[in-house]
Amino acid sequence: MIDVQNSPDTRGIPLQHVGVRDIRYPIKVLDKVNEFQHTIGSFNLYVHLTADFKGTHMSRFIEILNHYRHEIDINNLDQILEEMKKKLNSEAAHIDVTFPYFIKKSAPVSKAESLMEYRCKFCGTHKNDSKDFTVTVEVPVTTLCPCSKEISDRGAHNQRSLVKVNVRYKKFVWLEDVIRLVEDSASCELYPLLKRVDEKAVTEKAYDNPRFAEDVAREVALKLDDWSEISWYTVECENFESIHGHNAYAYLKKQKS
């Protein structure tokens, strides 16, 4: 049969990313407490397409994923990327996989246990002989407004916030440690299960630790600066405001020496 994708293209335009998106496949993620946990990843797979060729062979991406279907984890993404480059005859390959990650949490007073979900992402790129790998975590937290506390005779408004941290590292870092770092930088962490005694405790903790979005971003940055394994990071905090029609937002990026 005629291989249309492999036919020449005369327009002279290379494409940095061609491939497939939003493929759901089981993956295995390293777990600090339980060694590993099984979850479902949503994959985007791309290669670079030179100006010479009309298209790429989309089915080969799925074939590669299927080949590794029982053993997809952080340790073999390099191997998958190299196979993508080889099978698709490309100088560059990219993977990003987003997945839910679960941590068992105990409520602060009652100690009631339940599972908290965090959204995480691995991104890997091989281009020629260079490699790049980043890890992203999204951590929901509580923030209490310092201004509201200062000007109000009774109480202060608070809200749920989402902190997203993206890191490059020199040495392996645990997802749990990045998540813990973020939760310690907020007014209070979130819990999936709270009894009344716990609700009292987290409300009072947030009141005693007011944070603007700017405060949370800076607190996370200070802790990442002290983490020698981290070589580069971005931090963003978005507060889903409870008394405004808009959200508050703060962002920073840093390349560490």
Sequence ranges of the domains in the chain:
7-106, 138-257
CATH of domain 138-257: 3.10.270.10
Q: Is the pLDDT of residue 4 over 60?
A: no
pLDDT band at 209 (very low <50, low <70, confident <90, very high): very high
pLDDT of res. 198: 98
- pLDDT at 2 exceeding the cut of 90: no
pLDDT digits (tens, 9 = 90+) for 93-116: 999 999 999 999 999 999 999 999
The reply to whether 7-106 and 138-257 are identical in fold is: yes
Q: How much of the chain, in percent, has pLDDT values that exceed 70?
A: 97
Q: What is the pLDDT of residue 5?
A: 62
Q: CA 95 to CA 76: how far, in whole Å?
A: 12
* pLDDT digit string, tens, across residues 63-82: 999 988 777 888 889 999 99
- Is pLDDT of 205 > 60? yes
9-52 tens-digit pLDDT: 678 899 999 999 999 999 999 999 999 999 999 999 999 998 88
Model confidence at 1, pLDDT cuts 50, 70, 90, reads low
Question: For position 166, what pLDDT does the model report?
Answer: 98
Q: Look at residue 127 in the predicted model and tell me its pLDDT.
A: 95
Is the Cβ–Cβ distance between 210 and 181 less than 8 Å? no
* pLDDT value for 226: 97
**What per-residue confidence (pLDDT) applies to 176?**
97
**Is domain 7-106 classified as CATH 3.30.470.20?**
no
Q: State the pTM of this model.
A: 0.92
**224-235 mean pLDDT:** 97
